[in-house]
Each structure stands twice: as structure tokens, then as C-alpha cells.
Structure 1
Amino acid sequence: MNKNLILVESPSKAKTINKYLGKDFIVEATVGHLKNLPKTKLGVDIENGFRPSLLNIRGKGDIIKKIKELASKSNTVFIATDPDREGEAIAQDIADLINGKTNAKIKRVLFNEITKHSVKAAIENPKEININLVNSQRARRVMDRIIGYKISPFLWKAVVDSGSLSAGRVQSVALRLVCEREEEIEKFVPTEYWNLIAQFMTEDGKEFSAKLYEMEGKQLKVQPKPEMTEEDWKEFLKNNFAINTESLAKEIATKIESKNKFVISDITKKENKRNPFPPFITSTLQVEASRKLGFRPKKTMMLAQNLYEGIELGKEGPTGLITYMRTDSTRLSEEIIYEARSFIEHNFGKNHLPARPRNYEQKNKKHVQDAHEAIRPTSLKYTPEYVKPFLSNDQYKLYELIWKRFIACQMESAVLEVTTVFIKADEFIFRASGTAIQFPGFLAIYDESSEDSNGNNANENGQLPIGLYRNQELQLKELKKIQSFTKPPARYTESSLIKELESKGIGRPSTYALIMSTIIERNYVEQIDKKLIPTKLGKKVNKILVENFPNIIDVDFTAKMEDELDTIADGNMEYERVLRDFYEPFSKTLQEVESKIEKPKCEICGADMEIKIGRYGKFLACTNYPKCKNIKSLKELSENNSEPEFTGEKCPKCGARTVFREGKYGRFIGCERYPECDFTKVITTGIQCPKCKEGELTVKKTKRGKIFYGCNRYPECDYATWKLPKEEVADENNV
């Protein structure tokens, strides 16, 4: 008897779905894509409508054969690949492979969540493959291939650092953002400023600190940048003052300490409401998992995929615990909102339940696909405590985060009372603030404290003593003079870079994790203490791309292309038109750059050498082929053209210059006369080893390329740590 065939992407998803369907269904996994563009050539017919040449992926022959055999014996083939553009393209590839090989009806089904209800509802209401989504994915893939294939050869100038370089449409923009931020940091000139922090005590012995806020009617502000004009400075001083030298700080402190009377001149209390954040979408999940759990985006998506596809819950078998994890919509179904409100009322009480359900309509709907709900639990039956025995530690942490964020998004606002106290001593006024929670609301389950703290006020978000009142006299116990310097812009982390890309309309939910891993794995960016820092290679690659393709490796251009690719998915623009609009100016830029760029020459016939892609990777080949068959490895060219980076120091062993070198486990200093002179020296961080107190910590890498810090006296001292210890630095935020 013929059965129905369901095709999904992963074996774990197949196992979960199989649990919900009867014996009339066979569920088989494709294990990802079945077709792809060729590795050794462009694979796009530019002259004929940008038609891609999709080939069966090497190693997928047995799976393809099995799918064809099962399809030939089936009544209906349900293609249940992931419910996004990538999944739609895989669905079309499957349909192309089995068309003509079976008499079965071919239907598309979408599972936003892998639950019994969702699976059965999808099977009962099948759809057709959405050709607009397929075309959108194909256009994105073709555009990425053209840019990468056509631009990458121009990076031969940088092969002195690496034998195989490549450019990507979105990854190159991400690299540019990281490099531009690094340039801002390098150009930044710190400005000195001082804060005066007073420690006051009440008559009954209660103490609190306050910061100097006002002097002679002018507010204390951090001095603006040194390059401000004289006129700007005069304007600034009309209403503000700055303590920018130690002598001025001492002078003001002496005046304050001479005062005999410190009185609370004013107390203000303000009630603030704090609303919960929306439920997670892909980007916010990656950002929050990085901030709270320390997970990299790639790891977050892998764990979320596990939770979506199904976890073995004992006797219940494989069960999908969250909805689809690649989404940019905050929409929630009415059913799950009703379930959440019942849960909140039962577990937290009516006072934690808003009068009406919370609706999270996105303000900027320009980039939102809204094909799926937000990321949420599939059922509130599966509390974190219920499923904990069946999850790994990391799976549990991520599921608990998703669960709490979802419940919190439907809870009442938190009510906070902010108290601000002003202490006056003649012409001087100090200020301190404290925050108290009047009603916890959603904070009862989920703390959404922001990633950064400005630390502008002493006691900010802290506690003030109870019982302070106006005209109350205080005793000045201590006055601290705190020196600080303005700080440069913060380096991007993976989470903050994802935020930046999303805010600029670059990338989509399925691409953020890949963008992060790509720029790191290509050694364009390294990650130290979670900060993204461009490598020497990354800076060089970015410089070449920006100098030669400023309009292509551009934030606005990339965002515009993303928008146009979205219009294909919406059915508002045609595949060929979008690619033609992109390719014509791109091709013109390419020709202009090609006419200016200097190419390596063949030492046999004198013709240009160009980068080719072979079975074993990239290599240089003579353009005079087949008359001249000269080829050269990129590594060989790298060795012949590499220019050393000198340190400016002499080798203590032989007196020659020392240079920076790259080793298996990181960067180090060596003699330029190597191998004649074998002098080497590790590069330290300047931070004393906390174990032996003699050595200094140096940056090292594991075999897998992960950075850690170890004592430079190894093996005498075996201290090692993943996180760099911080030196003790005086900072007003610690007051």
C-alpha cells in the first residue's frame, strides 16, 4: 500500500514529526541542502537572466536516490523544510529532483512549531511552493556569488598575509564597521576630568555618597573634546563648569572642606513605570544570550535549533519546545497570549496581569517579514523546571531565558520610585539618586537591566538611607578626588555588531550568526574578552575593498540591496530586474578597478597571472593558458612578497632588527635573521600574573584558535585563564 512521504531537513526534526503521525506516513530527512552552486566556477549565466547552475552536492547521492525511490511509491509528497526562504529554496530543489519520477502530488507544509496540533494542522492544510520566496533566496545567493567571485581576486594584494582570501556582500560590510570603529578608537584623544565624591553621615550614623553637581549656579560637566574652539568653550562655560586638572580639583576640594554646614536643600521623588521588552526575535535572542549567558550567536542558534526540532522528554518522546527560531516578528498568537495570561494570574496574582494583552507592533515594519511568530515556548505546560531533567545545561539556560522573556512580555509594568537628594553648602551643591522598587511587575520573573551603565550619579540605581528629609544637616566624613579620562567608543562585541547591522537593515535573521563566524574564521577579526578587533589581515582586506569598491562595500548600498531582495519575496519586483539593477553599476565599477589594478606577472611568458579556483582551492594561473601552463600557489606568492613588520627594537642575541611573526598559537616577536638567529619573545599584556607575581600574562591560542591568557614564565608558572583579569583602576563608577 502506498504511503505519504514527508521530507524535512534534519533527522531530529523527522523523529519528532514521526511521533505525531500514523503508519500511513514516512518521514525522511534531506540533511540540509541537496543542491548548490559549483565550487570551481561562477555558476551564474549573467547573459541569460542570471540563471544559476545548481548541481547536486557531492556526497548527497545516496540521499537523493532514496528520496526519489520513496517518492515514486508515495501518494503525496509533503515537503516540510524550514519555514523560511532557505527552506523554500530547498523545497523547490526537492520538487525539481522528483518531478517526472513520481505520480504523487507534491505539496508544501510549514511548521512554525513542532507540536502535535501544528503538525496535523499543516498536513490538513497544505500549500504550494512559494516561488517568490524561492526567487528571493536564489537572487540573494546569486548576488552574493557574483560579488564574492568577482571581488575576491582583487584581494591578491593581501596574500602576503594569507593564501586564500575572499569578500562577501554582507560580511565585508560587517568587517568595514569593525575596522572603522577601530580607527575611531585609534584616533581618539582622551580628555582628563575630575569628580568630587562626598561621603555624608546623618545624625543617627547612616552614610551615603553624593557627587558634586553644581558650583556657583553652574553644573559640573565633563569637558568637551580638546579640539573645541575658543568661542565654543566660552559658550560652554556660561552654564557649566569642568574640573579638568588636579590642581583645580584640589582647590575646589579645599573650599568645600572649609564649609561648616551641609544641609539637604531638596528631595524629589518621581514614580517611573518600566515596561517589559517584547518577546525574542532572532537578533534579540542572540544579543541577550551573549550578554546574559556568554553564548556566541552560532552556539545560540544551534541550541535553539535543538529546542525547535524536538527534545526527548521521557515517556512523551521527542517534543518541540520553542517556535521557529529564525524570525524578525514580535507577533504572538491569541491562543498563546491567553495561555500566558492564565499562567500569570495563577502564579503571580491578578495584580501582575495587565488589563489588556500586550501587543508588540514593530514601529519600523520596513524590514519585518512577519511570516512567523516571535520565539516563544510551544506550550506553557513545559516549564523550565519540568523539562530540566531532559536538557543539557546550555539547552536549559537558553530555554529558561526564552520562557522568562515570553512570560514577562505579558506581565504588568514594574513601578520604580526614584529619589534624588540635593545637599547644599553655600555655593556648592551635591546630588545623589537612589531607586526603589515599589511594585515588581514583570521584574518578578525577568530582569531586563540594560547592558551598559552610564554611571553619571553617585548612588545611581542604588539605595539611599531611609528617613532623609529637607533641611536635614549632614556631616562631611570624606571628600574623594577621582581622576578619570573620557573613553573612546566601545569596540563591537558580537551582540552589539548584530544590533548595529539590524538597525541599519543589513542581514536577516538567518544570516547574523554566519556573518559573525565568517569574519572570525577568515582571520579578519579576532575576539578578545568578547571584543571584536580587526587583525592586521582584516585591516588590509578592508582597505583594499574600501579603496576599490567604496560604493559596493557600503552600508546604505547593502541595505538597499536587502530591501530589493525583500521586494522579490513580496512579489513586487522581478528576479531578473533586481539583479540587473545591481549588476550594471557593479560591472562598471569592476571594469574601472580592473583597468587600474596591477596584477602579478607570469615569470615564464610575461602575461598576467589570475586567481583560479580548483578542486583543492585557489591558485594563480597564467592568463596565456593553454599556450602557457604556468601555475603558482598563493602560499608561494605570499612567501616571495611578504614584507616584515618591524618592532623598532634590536635583537638582544645578535643585534639585528626584531619583527612581529604569526605562530601556531598566536603572535610573537622574533629575529629578522631567523633561522640563523633563533631569538623569540612573547608579547605580554602588561598585566602581572596573579599566581606567581613575577611574570606577565600573554595572549595565547588553543589548537582550535580560541584565545586564552597564560603566564609568560610557563612552564615554571602554569597559570592560565579564559578571561583577562582587570587591573585595579580608580573610577568614579565604583564609588
Structure 2
Amino acid sequence: MKLMVVESPNKIKKLEAILGDGWKVMASVGHIRDLPRDDLGIDLADFVLNYEFIPPSTFQGRTFPGGEERVARIRREMRSAEMVYLATDPDREGEAIAWHLKDSLGLDETQYMRVTFDSITKDVIRGALGKARKIDYDLVHAQEARRALDRMYGYLVSPLLSETLGMSLSAGRVQSPAVRLVVDNERRINAFKKTSHFGAVVSFDGDAWQAEWNTKPFVTAEAPYVLDEALATRAAKCRQFKVTDSQNTTAREAPPAPFSTSLLLQAASVSLKFDPEVTARLAQKLFEQGAITYIGTDSVNFSDEGLRDIRAFAIGKGWKLPDEPRRFKEKASAQEGHEAIRPTHLEDEDAGEDDPQRALYRLIWQRSIASQLADATYKVNTVSLAAVDGAETFEFKANGRVMVEAGWRALTALDAIADEGDADEPAGGKVPMLEIGSSKRADSGKLLRKETKPPARYTKASLIKKLENEGIGRPRTYPPIMKNIMDKGYLSEVKRFLQPTDIGCQLVDELVKGEFGFIEVPFTRGMEEELDHIAGGGRSYLDVVAPAYEQLQAEIAAVGTGGTMKPRFPCPKCDSGQRRYAPSGKTPFWCCTNAECKHFMDDVGGKPAERKVYACTVCDNGTMRRFKRKVGAGNLWACSNDECKHFMDDVNGKPVEPTVHKCPTCKAAPLRRYQKKDKETGKPKGGFGWFCTGTECKTFLDDEGGKPVAIKTAPCPKCGKLMYRRKGEFGYFWGCSGFKDGCKTVMDDKGGKPVPKDAKGGSKPKVGTGKIPTRVAVGVPTRVVARPTKKA
């Protein structure tokens, strides 16, 4: 038996069907080991990474096995395998996972082979097995270097940043420059001052076509716009023109390139409104189903096999092709050697398990074929006209085009990324061919009021494009980059446009102020190039990681001695930084980061404020401290003196003596409010109630709006015993106190009175077996109830 190990369990069924008998396919389910969560995980003497198995995880009540358990399962099958084929994804991260599997399984060089494939088809899989090799350690070291660098910048800079800004923040080697791009762009937008200027347009032949005023003769480089409204009005009033130039040409429009990972993320964002992480997940599913080639690629070109398949399919459909297959210019930083994303079976025009998958597949299918079709061709008419008014000559120009051959646009009318509208509609209308020197009269004219526009805000699609153009990140990193900076609240999305939050701006400002190299785009771009050199065998792991660490340590030391990053909220006692803590379910507070000081402050509007001290109104030496109620909404105050146990209500952040309700039975002891609990589980159930604190009095009352009210009773219509009004999961109901004697009467509640069930016309309340809680009405001490402990 031969054993193949892949990353995703979704590939198993498809691969086993292709491989046939004598094969077993198992999945690592992604990474099996990683650096520790709560430690740097790097031996700084030699920069060895200290990996540990990924622990089990729990999601929605289900526990998923950790890396060690997954490896043990593979090891059991490996014992009966003659050869283990490590077939993790064909990129640097996949190569690293293959090495982790080899190391964890204890495989020597004779026991395994490494195979990679860009698509899950019979021919590709068979071809991959024929090219089986050993692990490429240059790729593994490149991935390890990326992991080490990301961990160093994150773990060594984030605490400093958190202390300075007073809250838990994280810096990132790639995510921080990505945030900076948005921050800098937003500041350019805010600093932009619009300029109002003017233009003119005239219409001809019943508004069939238009010509726009050429303002160049009236502007300069220093004053690029027409600010004279009177001049523009004169231009708009021109009617009699002479044709000064008339040209008829043919324009060709080549199709857009196939999808790389970046282009696919952008196109799905623009055309399908998918977030990058959603697109990545859907595309991975399609790859695992064998519907498309591998999604992690920088390439915008197809393999020879892919080109042959597309051209043959297009010929069968009768679509026009260029004489030679199209090759598109690659980026200088393109890596991994994978072809662009394409369908594996072109005859399948639809694929996927749900509507989002099918929509993404259709986008890929159209783009792949369109990229190899003939150019779209247009007939273009360009006319220049001139009108004389006094001493000025006003030039107008019209440009119109009409599609002659649709070419690739017959398959997909719009470029999924770039097109804003229908490209077939000419900007100037149907411009006719006119004879040079002839006269032409305009029907009408219009003054154009224009304003200069600020830089456009980034969308997720355009930010990914910017990152790619700047050489920041790589195909598999774009979705997690976007997810991290959004989830951490550094950017917000408003109508699909990205805007930096206050904390995002502060994060960038502090990193720039601290002069950290990784916040600069050229530094980050250079680091990506260094990782590429490791993958290509030109640099070693230590050649890149060690100098980066030394530089980072020097930058951190300079910040510490230079005092450039000062605490945003200094402690009023020791001048160290105050840091905000927001424990789940509790009131946020601030605490000094100096372990010897530990000065606490309240949180008011997200900023620290000195705690107001309120003396206890019962004891002499205690002060009141505010807490969030464990049950119910709001806060309460409790005395710091453990022997006092005095509680007070919270009203607008101040302690107020709670209203005292005297017992209506004994007239002496006060009543105390308590949370009703399930008799068996002890968990809160059924709201609140009140009981008398007197030792001898056994009075209980109901709770309405935080006030005690008498327990309502009525005689049972069947046995004559008392019925009690109770509050259940579906509202109030009435139950007979004689249920132990066999009376199971349960009635609905209407206006505080018992009525036969369904008398209100509503659905029947689900009250279980009809058992009634054994509390009693005022003055009916039929049992002793265990009293709640002393609480507010």
C-alpha cells in the first residue's frame, strides 16, 4: 500500500478515485506544528525555531484534534505503507508543512517522496508522481525565515507599542505598512483643497454627438485650470465652427490577463463583492474539488497544456483567436512557478457546491478563455473644431468609437476589475466623419462647473493591488493581511471604502516616531526580496534573519534611550504608562505598567480617570468599590472591608443606598432580593424574588420591576387548593400547589388572573411536567427554604 498525505481532507475522495487500488490518502488538516502562542519561540543564539504541536481546538461545542493526534493517526497507517508521498500544497508554506510531517513522522530519506500538483486531474496527478522528488529545503528555509521575521516584529515591538498607547495592540512586519498606506492616503484626502474650475461642451445633430472645449491654450503648468467663468461661458455660447482636423482610425483592445491570486481577489471584490478571505476560502474549495488549478500564484500566464486546451475549446465554440497564444508580462517578483488560475475542465461552464462557489468559478472560467481570444476592434472618429469669438479662438474636440468586432468582449463584456461601465458606449457619442475646412453649426452649448477631486480611498481590492505593486506580501498572505487589520480595528469599512480608525492612526504614528524600519514600504519590499533569494538558494536563513534581528534590537534600544515613544497616558504617580484592561463581562479599568506602582484608574470614555473614593456608610474604615453584577445588567458597589459586606446600588457611576423594603408580615426585618435558581443544576432560572431576612419570618414575595410584590394566589378549580402565579420560559402561568397530591392543573395568565389554557388565543406555554416550584405565599410556611447567601 502507498500512502499519500495532503493538507485538506476535502481532497481525499477525489484523489483516491484517481489513484485507484493500492493507495490510501490522508490529510494533515493544514499545519501540525507552529511556534508557541505565549512565547517568542526563537532561540536568539542561533535563531532556531522552537516548534510545538498545535493544540486541540473547540468550536461550537465540537473539539477538533490537535497536530499530535493527527500525526499519530497518519503514523499508524504509515507502518503498513511501502512509501509515503507528501503532497501538501505546491508553495513555500506547503513545502514547510511537508517537512514538518517528515520530521514528526520520523521518515528517513528512503521512506518518503515529495509530490506537487497544480490541479487535481488524472493526467496531472500521474505526471506529478512521475516527477516525485525530495523536499526542497531552500523553500522550507524561506518559509521559516518569513515565520521568524513575523514573530520577531510582532512579539518584540507589540509590547512596547501597547505600553506606549495604553492598550493591547500588535505590530506586524506586513500588516503595519498596509495600515500605513491607508493612514497616509487618508491624510492626503483630509489635506486636499478642492479647486472649482470651468469647462464647456457643445452638441451637434440633435444631441447625437458632443465636442468638449480644449482648455490647454488658456492654462499653464502653474495654473492648470480655467477659473474665469466668463471665459468659459463665452466658449459654451460658440455655435459656428470650422473643422480643423478629422481622422478615422481603428483601435484594438487586448483582453485582460488571466487571474493571479491578487487579480482574483480584486476581481471577486469588485464584481462579486466578496471579501478577500471569503474568495480565498471559496477558491480553495474549488481547487479541492478538482475544478480549478492551484490558487496560490503570482503568474498571469498559462502552461502550454492550458493554452492548448483553451484554444481548442474556443475553436469548437467558433470564437476568434489570435494567430499565436497570448503571453502576458510577469512581475519581476513573480515566484513559485505556478501557472495562472484556470478551470481544469473547460467543458464545465458551471462548477461548485453552492451559489458563491459557482459565481466565483464562472468568473474564473470567463476570464481564462477571454484572455486568449482575439482583440476587440473599434472604428474611432476624432474631430477637431474651432470657433472665433473676438480675439479668442476656442478649440473643441470630439472623440467617438464604435465596436467593429467584439473579440474577447463577446464572452465577457466587462473587465471584472477595471471597467466602470459599458466600454462600447463612446464618450462623445456617434461622431461623424467631417471634411477638413467644412463648417458645422452647433445646436446648443453648456457651461461645465467642475471641481478637482481628492485621492480616492482604498477598497480592499485596490489596497491588495497597491500591496502587490509595492512588492509587499505574497499570494497566500493577502487574505490574512486584510483580515488581521480589519479584525484588530485598525481600519474600518464604510460603503466598501477603507478608512483608518483613531487607534490605527496612533499605531502608525508611534511606529514612525520610533523610526522602526519595517514601517517603511521600501524596507518591507526589500525583506520580501530577501525571502525570494532564500527560496532561490542565493541566501541562507541566517543571512537574512540575524541582521534583521540586530537592526530591530538597535531600534528598540534607541526608542528606550531616546524617549521618542512616550506613554500616551502617563501614570500620575510614577510617570510610567497606564494601560487599559477590558476583561470580558467586567467594567474596563486602567492600571500602571510599573509592577511596583500598580496604580489603578477608572475608564471614562476610553481614557483613564482618577478613581473617586466613596466612604462606606456602615463601617468606619472601608471604602466602596464598583463591580459589574454577576447576574443582570448594571453595576453595584461593595465595601472593601471583608467584615462589613455592605452593598450599594450604582446610579450614574456613584454609590447610592439601596431602597429598603420592610417585610409586610413581621413589619420589622427588611426584605432581600435574590436570583431564583434551578433546584437541580443551581443555574439562574425564573427571574428574581424577595425573602424576609428575619430569623423567624418565612415570608417570600415576587419581583416586578425590581420591587417586591405579594405572590398572587387563587383557588384551584379542580381540588380547591391554592394556585400560584409563576414566571416560566414563555411568560406567566398558574400551577396548583397540590401537584404532589396528584393535581396537575396548569392555567394561563391573563391580567394577573388564572384563565383556562388557550383562553387568550395564544399558543400553549411549554411548562414541562406541570411541576410547580415549592415556594409559598405570604403567611403560608409549609416548608423551610434554604436562604441565599448575603448578596446585593
Fold match by TM threshold 0.5: yes
Distance 2:517 2:168 in 1: 24
Q: Which amino acid aligns with 1:478?
A: S
- Show CA shifts across 1:210-240 (max 9, x none): 21125xxx5366x76xxxxxxx45xx7xxxx
1:111 maps to 2:128: no
Give the aligned partner of residue 557 of structure 1: 523
Give the aligned partner of residue 51 of structure 1: 48
Consecutive unaligned residues of structure 2, counting only runs of 5 or more, are 57-65, 611-650, 655-792
Give the aligned partner of residue 497 of structure 1: 463
Give the aligned partner of residue 295 of structure 1: 274
Q: Secondary structure at the match of 2:256?
A: coil
What is the 5 A alignment of 1:212-223?
Answer: 212-213=213-214, 219=217
Residue 379 of structure 1 and its aligned partner are, at CA, apart by 2.4
Residue 422 of structure 1 and its aligned partner are, at CA, apart by 2.2
Q: State which of 136, 142, 148 in structure 2 corresponds to 1:130.
A: 136
Residue 399 of structure 1 and its aligned partner are, at CA, apart by 1.3
Residue 634 of structure 1 and its aligned partner are, at CA, apart by 11
In the superposition, the TM-score normalised over structure 2's length comes to 0.69
Q: Which amino acid aligns with 1:119?
A: I
Distance 1:382 1:470 in 2: 54
Q: Which amino acid aligns with 2:21?
A: K
Q: State which of 470, 478, 481 in structure 1 corresponds to 2:447.
A: 481
**Preserved contact between residue 271 and residue 417 of structure 2 (Cα < 8 Å):** no
1:321 maps to 2:287: no
Residue 591 of structure 1 and its aligned partner are, at CA, apart by 0.5
Q: Which amino acid aligns with 1:65?
A: A
Distance 1:284 1:632 in 2: 52
- Show CA shifts across 1:522-555 (max 9, x none): 1111111221110111111111111113422111
Distance 2:398 2:536 in 1: 54
Residue 308 of structure 1 and its aligned partner are, at CA, apart by 0.6
Q: State which of 269, 273, 282 in structure 1 corresponds to 2:248.
A: 269
Residue 476 of structure 1 and its aligned partner are, at CA, apart by 3.0
Q: Secondary structure at the match of 1:552?
A: helix
**Preserved contact between residue 36 and residue 52 of structure 2 (Cα < 8 Å):** yes
- Show CA shifts across 1:24-67 (max 9, x none): 222111211111111111111111x2111111011114323212
Q: Secondary structure at the match of 1:641?
A: strand
**Preserved contact between residue 620 and residue 631 of structure 1 (Cα < 8 Å):** no
What is the 5 A alignment of 1:613-624?
Answer: none
Relative to structure 1, is the Cα distance of residues 607 and 674 closer, same or farther in structure 2, using a 3 angstrom cutoff?
A: closer
Q: Which amino acid aligns with 1:244?
A: L
1:208 maps to 2:214: no
1:141 maps to 2:147: yes
Moved more, 467-476 or 491-500: 467-476
**Preserved contact between residue 235 and residue 394 of structure 2 (Cα < 8 Å):** no
Q: CA RMSD in A?
A: 3.5
Give the aligned partner of residue 243 of structure 1: 226
**Preserved contact between residue 248 and residue 433 of structure 2 (Cα < 8 Å):** no
Q: Which amino acid aligns with 2:556?
A: L
Give the aligned partner of residue 697 of structure 1: none
Residue 359 of structure 1 and its aligned partner are, at CA, apart by 2.3
What is the 5 A alignment of 1:393-412?
Answer: 393-412=355-374
Larger relative contact order (CA 8 Å, sep ≥ 6) = 1
**Preserved contact between residue 436 and residue 463 of structure 1 (Cα < 8 Å):** no
**Preserved contact between residue 159 and residue 637 of structure 1 (Cα < 8 Å):** no
Residue 250 of structure 1 and its aligned partner are, at CA, apart by 3.2
Q: Secondary structure at the match of 1:420?
A: strand
Distance 1:84 1:265 in 2: 59
Give the aligned partner of residue 79 of structure 2: 72
1:414 maps to 2:397: no
Give the aligned partner of residue 177 of structure 1: 181
Residue 463 of structure 1 and its aligned partner are, at CA, apart by 3.2
**Preserved contact between residue 267 and residue 416 of structure 2 (Cα < 8 Å):** no
Q: Which amino acid aligns with 2:380?
A: V
**Preserved contact between residue 591 and residue 601 of structure 2 (Cα < 8 Å):** no
Q: State which of 341, 359, 362 in structure 1 corresponds to 2:327.
A: 359
**Preserved contact between residue 33 and residue 52 of structure 2 (Cα < 8 Å):** yes
Distance 2:461 2:594 in 1: 48
Percent identity of paired positions between Structure 1 and Structure 2 = 34
- Show CA shifts across 1:159-216 (max 9, x none): 55xx421010000000111111111111111111111121222xxx5632221125xx
Give the aligned partner of residue 193 of structure 2: 189
- Show CA shifts across 1:368-418 (max 9, x none): 11421111111223233xx4xx54222222212211222122222222222
Distance 1:249 1:451 in 2: 36
Q: Provide the aligned length of Structure 1 versus Structure 2.
A: 593
Distance 2:512 2:136 in 1: 37
Give the aligned partner of residue 679 of structure 2: none
Q: Which amino acid aligns with 2:55?
A: R
Give the aligned partner of residue 771 of structure 2: none
Give the aligned partner of residue 589 of structure 1: 555
Give the aligned partner of residue 15 of structure 1: 13
Q: Secondary structure at the match of 1:279?
A: coil
1:442 maps to 2:399: no
Q: Which amino acid aligns with 1:211?
A: E
Relative to structure 1, is the Cα distance of residues 80 and 379 closer, same or farther in structure 2, using a 3 angstrom cutoff?
A: same
Relative to structure 1, is the Cα distance of residues 450 and 393 closer, same or farther in structure 2, using a 3 angstrom cutoff?
A: closer
Give the aligned partner of residue 278 of structure 1: 257
- Show CA shifts across 1:494-535 (max 9, x none): 111111111111110111111111111111111112211101
Distance 1:450 1:244 in 2: 38
Q: State which of 478, 482, 487 in structure 2 corresponds to 1:512.
A: 478
Relative to structure 1, is the Cα distance of residues 574 and 85 closer, same or farther in structure 2, using a 3 angstrom cutoff?
A: same
**Preserved contact between residue 196 and residue 450 of structure 2 (Cα < 8 Å):** yes
Q: Which amino acid aligns with 1:337?
A: L
Moved more, 547-556 or 90-99: 547-556
Relative to structure 1, is the Cα distance of residues 450 and 300 closer, same or farther in structure 2, using a 3 angstrom cutoff?
A: closer
In the superposition, the TM-score normalised over structure 1's length comes to 0.74
Give the aligned partner of residue 540 of structure 2: 574
Q: Which amino acid aligns with 2:538?
A: N
What is the 5 A alignment of 1:344-383?
Answer: 344-349=314-319, 352-362=320-330, 364-365=331-332, 367-383=333-349
Distance 1:172 1:432 in 2: 47
Relative to structure 1, is the Cα distance of residues 483 and 77 closer, same or farther in structure 2, using a 3 angstrom cutoff?
A: same
**Preserved contact between residue 269 and residue 419 of structure 1 (Cα < 8 Å):** yes
**Preserved contact between residue 3 and residue 85 of structure 2 (Cα < 8 Å):** yes
Q: Which amino acid aligns with 1:53?
A: N
Distance 1:539 1:599 in 2: 16
